[in-house]
């Protein structure tokens, strides 16, 4: 089975890269590509008439509903919900490490020196808002995450309206992602989603300076932020070929590289080495190295067999998500989704699954925004409905397990 997973995951990635290379090279060389007709927007599913506030409120309502229903299922009472909610979303996983950085900064020595592996923008914002709230740093983290997530959905709705035949399905897929509940807690997900979708949207509008600045901030939030360089360069190159003129502002799209460079300088200033984070990532408690994604997928089966108790919420969903995301990207490619988005989604998928000890794949893949656009590009209403139905089920299942205190990271 491990061999089958290694071969299958490798073949899927090579197929994605091969198809992308063919279409991208044809597009950039100016060979006309006939995209399939997407058809009119279905009025009942289209968010075109929805206002930003409605999308914002609905986004947060879904997250809170998942937590509240899970609490009811666990306790059979609404009493104690807010205390339960606070405990799970401000202390689980790495939440307390973000809080420590926000309140104390990065430690150059001692047991907390390993916190250098966390990127600085989110804890910096937590510290600033927390100080304004009277040293309520954890509350600041919740507010930042949830406000950012709500606005990310508003911008994603605009992007889906522009890119999808069924933008409502794309937005629903975004809302109901099974591990989306992480976006409301003291994690970087809400901020990362807002910055990522904003950068992609600005790139599509050819607002290079804004996209580059947002990309810089995104690279200061999570390592995957540097991948925004790829769709940015692709879209800028295509625009300059079409317009037949140099666009100096496109240089701003190198912003993600600058953001990563700033993070490296932070490593140097705090720990004395530009790449200090790599040494700490490789040790306890993360044991994070880089390996070929085929090895990671094969490892998932081995770990599931060794730890069957946690396999249902870590190893099995991570294995399934790889192939589901790849299938959606291939479907999006077949339905002529912009090559820049397919490029970003493929690179994001690959980066997530090259982690040597992957235990947070479900949370990481929340940020793979092109897969939701691919759902909105699917031709079959039945298939879209099936995907959304599965998402609803697993959204509540994993919300329940998280609120139960299971090791979902």
Question: Per-residue pLDDT tens for 90-110?
Answer: 999 899 999 999 999 999 999
Mean pLDDT of the chain: 92
Which helix (DSSP H) or strand (DSSP E) does residue 86 occupy? helix 81-91
**What count of other Cβ atoms lies within 10 Å of the Cβ of residue 12?**
21
Q: Quick one: tokens of 156?
A: 């994603």
Number of domains in the chain: 1
Q: Is residue 64 part of a domain?
A: yes
Q: What is the DSSP string of 386-407?
A: HHHHHHHHHHHHHHHHHHHT--
Residue 227 lies in a domain: yes
Residue 8 lies in a domain: no
In a domain, 7, yes or no: no
Q: In the structure encoding, which two tokens stand for residue 2, read together?
A: 């491990």
pLDDT in tens, 362-406: 999 999 999 999 999 999 999 999 999 999 999 999 999 999 999
Whether residue 359 lies inside any domain: the answer is yes
Distance CA 82, CA 57 (A): 19
Structure confidence at residue 409 (pLDDT): 87
Is 35 within a domain? no
- Specify if 45 maps to a domain: no
236 to 212, 227, 253, 259, 342: CA distances (angstroms): 11, 15, 8, 19, 16
Domain limits at 308? 14-29+50-404
**Of the given ranges (122-131, 209-218, 239-248), which has the lowest mean pLDDT?**
239-248
d(CA 165, CA 375): 10
The answer to whether residue 40 is domain-embedded is: no
């Amino acid at each position: 089975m491990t061999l089958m997973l290694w071969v299958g995951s490798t073949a899927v990635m090579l197929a994605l890269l091969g198809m992308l290379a063919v279409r991208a090279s044809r597009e950039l060389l100016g060979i006309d590509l006939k995209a399939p007709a997407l058809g009119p927007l279905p009025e009942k599913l289209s968010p075109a008439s929805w206002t930003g506030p409605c999308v914002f409120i609905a986004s947060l309502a879904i997250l809170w509903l998942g937590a509240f229903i899970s609490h009811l299922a666990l306790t059979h009472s609404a009493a104690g919900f807010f205390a339960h909610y606070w405990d799970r979303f401000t202390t689980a996983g790495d939440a307390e490490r973000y809080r420590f950085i926000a309140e104390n900064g990065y430690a150059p020595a001692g047991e907390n020196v390993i916190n250098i592996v966390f990127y600085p923008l989110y804890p910096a914002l937590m510290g600033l808002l927390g100080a304004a709230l009277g040293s309520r740093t954890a509350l600041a983290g919740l507010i930042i995450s949830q406000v950012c997530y709500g606005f990310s959905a508003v911008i994603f709705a605009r992007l889906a309206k522009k890119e999808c035949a069924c933008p409502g399905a794309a937005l629903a897929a975004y809302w109901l992602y099974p591990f989306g509940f992480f976006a409301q807690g003291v994690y970087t997900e809400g901020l990362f989603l807002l910055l990522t979708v904003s950068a992609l949207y600005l790139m599509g509008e050819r607002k290079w300076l804004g996209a580059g600045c947002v990309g810089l901030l995104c690279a200061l939030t999570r390592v995957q932020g540097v991948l925004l360089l790829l769709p940015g360069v692709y879209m800028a190159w295509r625009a300059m070929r079409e317009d037949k003129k140099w666009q100096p502002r496109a240089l701003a799209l190198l912003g993600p590289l600058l953001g990563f460079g700033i993070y490296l300088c932070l490593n140097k200033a705090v720990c004395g080495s530009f790449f200090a984070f790599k040494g700490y990532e490789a040790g306890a408690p993360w044991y994070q190295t880089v390996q070929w994604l085929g090895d990671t997928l094969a490892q998932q089966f081995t770990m599931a067999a060794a730890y069957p108790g946690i396999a249902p919420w870590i190893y099995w969903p991570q294995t399934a998500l790889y192939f589901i995301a790849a299938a959606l990207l291939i479907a999006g490619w077949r339905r002529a989704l912009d090559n820049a988005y397919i490029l970003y989604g493929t690179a994001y998928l690959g980066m997530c699954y090259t982690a040597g000890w992957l235990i947070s794949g479900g949370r990481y893949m929340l940020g793979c925004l092109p897969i939701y656009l691919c759902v909105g590009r699917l031709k079959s209403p039945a298939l879209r409905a099936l995907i959304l139905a599965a998402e609803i089920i697993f959204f509540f299942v994993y919300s329940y397990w998280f609120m139960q205190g299971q090791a979902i990271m």
